[in-house]
Amino acid sequence: MKLVDRFLKYVSFETTSDEESGVTPSTPGQMTLAKYLKEELESLGLQEVFLDDNGYLYATLPANTDKQVPVVGFIAHMDTAPDMSGKDVKPRIVKNYDGTDIVLNEAAHIIMTTAQFPELKSHVGEDIIVTDGNTLLGADDKAGIAEIISGVEYLMQHPEIKHGKVRIAFNPDEEIGLGAHKFDVERFGCDFAYTFDGGEVGELEFENFNAAAAKLTFTGRNVHPGTAKNKMINSIRVANHFMSMLPSHETPEHTEGYEGFYHVVGISGSVEKTVVNYIIRDHSHDRFESRKREFQHLTNKINAEYGDGTLQLELRDQYYNMREKIEPVMYVIDIAKEAMLAAGVEPVVKAIRGGTDGAQLSFKGLPCPNIFAGGMNMHGRYEYVPIPSMEKAMCVMVKIVELTANR
């Protein structure tokens, strides 16, 4: 099966993760895809193919050299983001993209414009896979899965490329911050690994946000509005009060580079009770801790003004900046850079304004920087992936394996 065919097959599986489910994998569709991938890996002839009860799939490409070579691993995630539906994805290939606006859905007047997405211009002349405007595409991270499996298949078809033992793994629930939680690093058995979960061609990332999630529960007091003076506490208004005390420009839409933010991701409520969910992000550990303290400070202010128990704050860390774990083993970055150059790709080392499973895995003892998979505009209807980007990612993987054996 060719790289593109694989990808188009994988996006047909609905694998949206669900933060509220409380089980692993968080949705049954992820296990369905995992079982399909298990059969595919077995049919290719890979060894040690193992799918555990939590939807983590592992496999081995055995070494074809007697030389002592570090074991390198490659990882991608099976789930897609809950931000938009991943059901009934209808991908379309735009052949030889001409640089103009792309009509995704004429009936619904959904258009991906170059004014809104100027990076499209860098893919003129390429074949691009897009959505029909009703769902996300799933290149995050099914492009990574397709690239890794195709790369392994290429190595099997070219035994003249000498390599050590190669391990691959596909996991659930990355999009809800749980992808690495039940990842069996010991079973994986690698000296180092790479996630293929980045965006534009050339991206190489070993810095990411420190991340926390905050759940704010506001409890009000409902009284008939005709007699509510000095009695009613409207939890919706209290929630709005809290939100207004946060810096108005420390949000995703106003920040870039190493700038952190507070991001409200959900709100539901009534006069009696309102729940607001935030994510907190910063590359600096000190600023990250300061942001969390600010949430506690504002919680105390709300409770002082409206009464104890008006606001309950639940704050939990999600992942940390992997830089401190990668810096002692920078050779894993050197290998990736060299592999990109050998594949005709200019490395673009940048900090992730987000996180990957590799961040958590690095703190579990597996150094695991992130490499581009080619997907763009992820998590929404305007997601797309240029086919040459996927092909280059596959080539980079093959070169990493080859270079690891030759170092």
308 and 361 housed in the same domain: no
Q: Is 116 found in the same domain as 100?
A: yes
Answer yes or no: do 10 and 61 share one domain: yes
The answer, yes or no, to whether residue 28 has pLDDT greater than 80, is yes
Cα–Cα distance, 150 to 144 (Å, whole number): 10
79 included as an active-site residue:
yes
Mean pLDDT value across the chain:
96
Q: Are residues 229 and 369 in the same domain?
A: no
Tens of pLDDT, residue by residue over 208-235, are 999 999 999 999 999 999 999 999 999 9
On whether both 289 and 337 belong to a single domain, the answer is no
The CATH number of residue 261's host domain is 3.30.70.360
Question: Are the C-beta atoms of 91 and 11 separated by less than 8 Å?
Answer: yes
- Residues 120, 105 share a domain: yes
User: 291, 319, 347 — which closes off a domain?
Assistant: 319
Domain C-terminal end among 281, 301, 319: 319
138 and 19 part of one domain: yes
Split at pLDDT 50, 70, 90, the class of 316 is very high
From the list 141, 147, 173, 174, the catalytic residue is: 174
> Do 29 and 175 reside in the same domain of the chain?
yes
**pLDDT(203) > 70:** yes
Is the model's pLDDT at 1 over the cut of 70? Answer: no
Give residue 354's pLDDT band: very low, low, confident or very high (50, 70, 90).
confident
Whether residues 19 and 158 share a domain: the answer is: yes
> What's the average model confidence in pLDDT over 183-197?
97
Give per-residue burial for 10-47: e unless 16+ CB within 10 Å, then b.
bbebbbbbbbeeeebbbbebbbbbbeebbebbeeeebe
For residue range 99-152, what is the model confidence (pLDDT) as tens digits?
Answer: 999 999 999 999 999 999 999 999 999 999 999 999 999 999 999 999 999 999
Whole-number pLDDT of residue 328: 95
* pTM as predicted: 0.87
Residues 273 and 203 in one domain: no
Last residue of a domain, one of 287, 319, 351: 319
E-assigned strand segments in 4-124: 47-51, 57-61, 72-77, 92-94, 102-105, 110-112
Q: How do residues 47-86 score in pLDDT, each as one tens digit?
A: 999 999 999 999 999 999 999 999 999 999 999 999 999 9
CATH of the domain at 173: 3.40.630.10
Total domains, the chain: 2
pLDDT band of residue 198 (cuts 50, 70, 90) is confident
Among residues 14, 79, 140, 250, the one annotated as catalytic is 79
Range of the domain at 246: 210-319
